[in-house]
Chains A and B, each alone.
Chain A
Amino acid sequence: MIDLTGKVAFIANADHPAAAACTGRLQAAGAKVCGAGSASADLAVDLDPYSPDSWDSAFDRCKTELGGLDVLVIPTGATASEGILSLAPEDFVAAHRSLAVTAFLAQNRGILAMRASGIEGAVIHILPAAARAAAGDAAAACTASAGILFSSKSAALECAKAKDGIVVNAILAGPIEGEEPLNYGVPVDPVSPDDIASAVLFFAAEGAAYMTGMDLPVDNGLVAQ
């Protein structure tokens, strides 16, 4: 049984299909949860995902009002788009940035906020399995999620080198129940939000403190195909 009593978690995107399950499981394990726009969190914060200052303020509020920032969960969604030929260039850029810039700022500003308070925290990305397994008609989601994956590994190495005690890992989520699956070209059963939350709890717990720069598929075998 994972015990996170006294820990504070921040969930960076309440709209993700696994966000509510993560919030519930983290709270059940004893953690307090700060959520960006989340009704079920202990503290709901509003933020502009494209503004570094806004992330800094949100992390400050989390530390001040809930007393810490031990776990940072950064869920990145996956939505299909038009095919490459019919996708308007500006729509590709907008879709890419909405995923990539949000996750980049949440990760980097979150790590800096942990460091500023000497917190040996865990950063956990939830990425679509499209970061490894390319899907059709999802160029922006594939491009952004793979980029975030390798940004997370770079962040992991930077933290390891700085010996700041912060670990950065990623979960590669298969299609999640309730969301429209990407076109992976192979049949794959959806995973439940609770399966994703279980992996988040594992990376949040001290047992995973020596794992960093790792990506763990929770995808019913999709990435293995």
Chain B
Amino acid sequence: MTARVQSGPLSGKVILITGGTSGLGRWTTMVTASQGATVVFTGRNADGAAETSTRLVDRGLHASYLPHDVTKPDEWTRVVDSVVEEHGRLDGLVNNSGVSRLKPMDQMSLDDLEFLLSVNVDGMFYGIQQAFRVMTNGGSVVNISALNALRGSPNSTGYGLAKGGTTHLARAAAVEGRARKIRVNAVHPGVLFEHGDRPSPGAIALFGEEGAKKFVQYNIDTTPMGRLGHPRDIGTTVAFLLSDAAKHVTGTAIHVDGGRMAGEYLHHGIKSQK
């Protein structure tokens, strides 16, 4: 347990984070709150929101929660208006909510595609539009994308279509953000595990106990840094992009992936040197 942070790199900033009810969004909420920001996180899962709040309290921190479906433009208006009404401004937006569905071409339906595009593309566009509306003194937007947006991946004709858009929308918005002093960047996580080398319940459900252990080890072996990423690693990068330290950084696509994009480790199973 640590004391509530009163000052830090994000002091005085009001930050809105979508999908703060689990994983990466939860850790980004915790990191930005610990760096002094006033944080509002959103999502659709009330239980997940309660868990995020509990973890914040355990660390002597606080962030408020608003229910939010990012695929609905009018919900975006409500959420952003509510933040500005409550806190007087919006300095940062983390477009974190995202969904994945990996299927080979012959199984990818239009419904699958629409599911991927509505969250990973439309939701991010609505968020950027709302940020442009209220960030009258400049600001910073971060789109959370995926490595599938930067190179080909099997079973990703739909996911790549969506996440390639997530990344490039950030670049297009960075071009337009110039006139408003709004920076827009995209962050690309590698393989993340919240519990070190312990397989997640999801991995165990998918691969079985032994299979999940192998899956974890494979990912460690094929990451140049020789370890798995933690959601906190992404949170700290996002916090940097939200801060004034990144005031000249816009339109970038940053990998936080232990070096995966440096080579074709994932596809070819090349083992790390570690």
Contact = CB atoms under 8 A, between A and B. Distances in A.
Interface in A112-152: 112, 130-131, 134-139, 142-152
B155 interface: yes
A131 B148 CA distance: 15
Interface string A137-171: 11100111111111111111110010000000000
Which of B121, B154, B165 has the most A CB atoms < 10 Å from its CB?
A: B165
Contacts of B108: 108
Interface stretch (B8-16, B43-51, B168-176): B168-176
A157 B175 CA distance: 31
A55 to B, nearest CB: 11
A154 B165 contact: no
Interface residues of A, number: 47
Nearest to B156: A154
A150 B105 contact: no
A224 interface: no
B133 interface: yes
A150 B175 contact: no
A131 B168 contact: yes
Interface of B: 73, 104-106, 108-110, 113, 117, 121-122, 125-126, 128-129, 132-133, 148-165, 167-169, 171-176, 251, 267
A105 B113 CA distance: 10
Nearest to B267: A157
Nearest to B133: A85
A153 B172 contact: no
Interface of A: 50, 52, 83-85, 87, 89, 92-93, 96-97, 100-101, 104-105, 107-108, 111-112, 130-131, 134-139, 142-158, 161, 185, 213
A148 B121 contact: no
Which of A112, A130, A148, A158 has the most B CB atoms < 10 Å from its CB?
A: A158
Contacts of B251: 134
A92 B161 contact: no
Contacts of A153: 151-152, 160
Contact of B157 (A134, A145, A155): A155
